[in-house]
Amino acid sequence: MSIPVVDLALFTKGTPEQKNEFVQALGKAYEEVGFVAVKNHDVPDQLIGELYEYVQQFFALPLEKKLNYEIPGLAGQRGYTSFGREHAKGSEAPDLKEFFQFGQMVTDGDQIKAEYPDNVQVKEIAAFNPTLEGAYQHFENSGRSLLQAIALYLGLDEHFFDAHIHNGNSILRCIHYPPITQEPKSAIRAEQHEDINLITLLVGASADGLEILTKQNEWVPVTSLPEQIVVNVGDMLQRLTNNKLRSTTHRVVNPARELWHTSRFSMPFFLHPRSEMSLACLESCITEATPKAYPDATAGEYLDERLREIGLKK
């Protein structure tokens, strides 16, 4: 399936007419599909290449070295999470993946720093942490621009989200789906799920496998070109907009048997707001035809609930 393609440069550098054209195209795609491919996203190709290089080096380390970076009590929010620890909401089967998470770096004295654990420093690969830091900042900047466009589509002030995501609880997750070495219990590397956050930015994965569930209830594979990133709506934005913008169900399927010996790498950036942000449905999204669908909750309360549902938090 070719998902809608939008050009972020029209929003960040275009004329007022081009900016509005981008806003309408993005909003329409999110109402109808839930995923878009974004070109001219301002995350440098060289940085993405380096990110893949160092992440692959990390996952190639012996397990006993990787386990040094799995920190008890952090619910997987920083550092390494070993194979089979996470499962989709409502599924008992663990996903066939291991991952490393890198989080917010608060540098301006904001008191919210006390809410965030420190990032885990990987000693064996000198460029690993600086590369993740650079990628994190670029993804955050691109995500801010996309949320500004979403705000305009919703009839809000362009900068509605800016303060909510400043020093927000965003996560860069580096995922490794290892080679399949025995007959799997499931044909799914990552079970069907929706993302928890506001939006997710995903640079092209190293192999096919991503599928989305269409409104016609059909699974279709999603591919994007190397110079594009795929961006989808998460559950927090769905709640905030009272289902106007839909969080799309997606999964990662196993490759054909002849490719079982290969790994798959994926680098989603989960853009989260600050924990105190209210996810109460926007008044403008509540009508007689679409009554309020969710109880009020803060982003922090909702994240805590979901981390327990997927097995990362007890």
Average pLDDT, 10 consecutive residues per value, the chain (314 residues): 86 97 95 88 92 95 95 87 71 76 96 95 97 97 98 97 97 90 65 90 72 85 80 95 91 79 87 97 95 96 83 64
3-state secondary structure of 8: helix
Domain boundaries, the chain: 5-309
Provide the CATH number for the domain formed by 5-309 in this structure.
Answer: 2.60.120.330
Alpha-carbon gap, residue 151 to 280, rounded angstroms = 15
Altogether, the residues listed in the chain come to a count of 314
Predicted pLDDT at 210: 84
Alpha-carbon gap, residue 294 to 273, rounded angstroms = 18
Predicted pLDDT at 86: 62
What predicted TM-score, i.e. pTM, was given to this entire model?
0.91
Q: Take residue 147 and report the two structure tokens written for it.
A: 């949320």
C-alpha dihedral, 206 to 42 to 196 to 21, nearest 10°: -120
Predicted pLDDT at 205: 58
Alpha-carbon gap, residue 18 to 11, rounded angstroms = 7
Predicted pLDDT at 117: 94
Instruction: Evaluate whether 19 touches 145 at the Cβ level (below 8 Å).
Output: no
Residue type, 93: A
Instruction: Count how many Cα atoms sit within 13 Å of the Cα of residue 177 in the half-sphere of its side chain.
Output: 29
Predicted pLDDT at 231: 92
Predicted pLDDT at 96: 77
Predicted pLDDT at 70: 93
From residue 23, alpha-carbon distances to 8, 26, 39, 43 in Å are 10, 5, 14, 20
